[in-house]
Amino acid sequence: MIRMLTRTSKTIVKTPGKTVLDYLADRFTYRSSSGWLDEIKAGRVLVNDSPANPSQILELDDAINYNPIPKPEPEVNPNVAVIDETDDFIALDKPPNLPCHPAGCFFNNTLWAMLKTGRVKGLDPMDNIHLVSRLDRETSGVVLVAKSPKAAKLASDAINASTATREYVVLIEGVFPDHLEAEGFLWTSPNQTIHKKRQFGAIPPANAINPESAKTTFETIARNNGLSLLSATLHTGRTHQIRATLASLGFPVVGDKIYGLDETIFLRFIDDALTQQDQDKLKLDRQALHAKKIAFSYNQKQMEFIANTPDEITNLIRK
């Protein structure tokens, strides 16, 4: 029988004096006051590990635990493979369509939960999970898991050191130069259609939100059919760094719903309303981005973990 985890939300009271019902309704507005009353009466809200009373007055540092009814989650790709295991690490090859961490509608259908419940082939359940590297849900490739907080801290520092290597393979629209050093800034702009979408350029504009320096080295591996297969080496580790940089340069990643040829595809995607024309334009049902290699120095040893590029990416350029 497959073991599943129970989602629990915990908060510590820092504004005492309110009733449990008023506190929850005021702070967590995604549920109405009557909705929270139903949850309390159903016994799904605890205060200091005891069933809550809606009229109970909260005190400073009271602990509130909320255990919602589990909801069905979207299907994911469970085919995680173990690349290598050492005394301190497990290197995994994460497939596309699998979130690393719980977020939104994903909880049990995540790499984190699969590791905790022993649903990764060849691995026992892990109580303490420390994901040193993380990937977007649609990105495949190497994910490094540390077996202890100490190893996680040391590895995180090592991966972000200038001597480390983080290499990706990416398939893009267009005919790319043989070599390109993309150094500049990433930022978001006010009033853009997709709030989390970032832009890349040499100098951020005056209204740029949270500008961050970013540098990526791109090398072309192959070209065919108006597409280019690239190697991308990260010198900084920014959110959406490769995808946003390439889109701003005019070479969007194949299959990318946010940074692709048409950003309105993402709006239809979240509404579950993709058309056949959208799917034809995307070419893949995932973004064609793969974390191929992580290499770093750890305890005076050189560590290197490699995940082979999926055929679904390379086949498009071979046709």
pLDDT at 104: 83
Mean pLDDT of the chain: 94
Q: pLDDT higher for 127 or 111? A: 111
pLDDT at 160: 87
Categorize the per-residue pLDDT at 1 as very low, low, confident or very high, splitting at 50, 70 and 90.
low
Categorize the per-residue pLDDT at 285 as very low, low, confident or very high, splitting at 50, 70 and 90.
very high
pLDDT digits (tens, 9 = 90+) for 30-61: 899 999 999 999 999 999 999 999 999 999 99
pLDDT at 129: 87
- Give bridge partners of residue 290 from the DSSP assignment: 140, 169
Catalytic residue among 22, 84, 136, 262: 136
Angle between helices 20-27 and 33-41 (to 10 degrees): 130
pLDDT digits (tens, 9 = 90+) for 75-96: 999 999 999 999 999 999 999 9
pLDDT digits (tens, 9 = 90+) for 265-274: 999 998 989 9
87 is catalytic: no
pTM of the model: 0.86
